[in-house]
Amino acid sequence: MESWDYMGCEGVFKLRKLRVCSLVLLLILAFLCFSCAQIVDIQKGLSFSDEDEIREAEKAAKMFEMEKSLEGKLYVDPFLEEYISGIGQKIAEIAKKDRPIIPFYTFKIVHDPHINAFTFGGGYIYVTSGLIATLDNEAQLAYILSHEIAHVSKAHIKEGVKARAAMLGALNLAYIASSFLVPGLARLGELTRMVFIYTALAAVNGHGRKQESEADRVGIEYAFRSGYDPREIPKVFELILKTYGDPPPLEQFFYSNHPTNRKRLEETERIVETEYLERLGGRELRVNKESYQKRTWKVVRDVAILNYESKRYGTAKALLKKALRIEPNDAISHYYLATVYRETGGSNEELDIAIAEYKKAIESKPDFGDAYFGLGLAYYRKGLKKEAKEAFENYLRLNPDAEERGEIERQFNQQ
The mean pLDDT value for 182-208 works out to 60
Rounded to an integer, what distance in angstroms lies between the CA atom of residue 140 and that of residue 359? 35
d(CA 103, CA 140) in angstroms, rounded, equals: 26
End-to-end CA separation in angstroms for the chain: 61
How many other C-beta atoms lie within 10 A of the C-beta of residue 372?
24
Kindly state the average pLDDT of the residues 237-251. 71
Is the pLDDT higher at 243 or at 100?
Answer: 100
For residues 295 and 112, give the distance between their C-alpha atoms in angstroms, rounded to a whole number: 18
What is the per-residue pLDDT for 275?
Answer: 95
Domains and CATH numbers, the chain: 6-280 (no CATH), 329-413 (1.25.40.10)
Nearest Cα residue to 94 out of 230, 216, 276, 219: 219
The predicted-structure confidence for 140-186, as pLDDT tens digits, reads as follows: 999 999 999 999 999 998 887 776 655 555 555 445 444 444 555 55
The more confidently predicted of residues 15 and 203 is 203
Looking at residues 68-82, what average pLDDT do you find?
91
CA–CA distance, 388 with 381 (Å, rounded to integer): 9
The CA distance from 290 to 286, in Å, is 11
Mean per-residue pLDDT of the chain: 82
Has residue 95 got a pLDDT over 90?
yes
pLDDT(338) > 80: yes
Q: What is the pLDDT of residue 173?
A: 46
What is the per-residue pLDDT for 206? 63
Output the pLDDT for position 15: 39
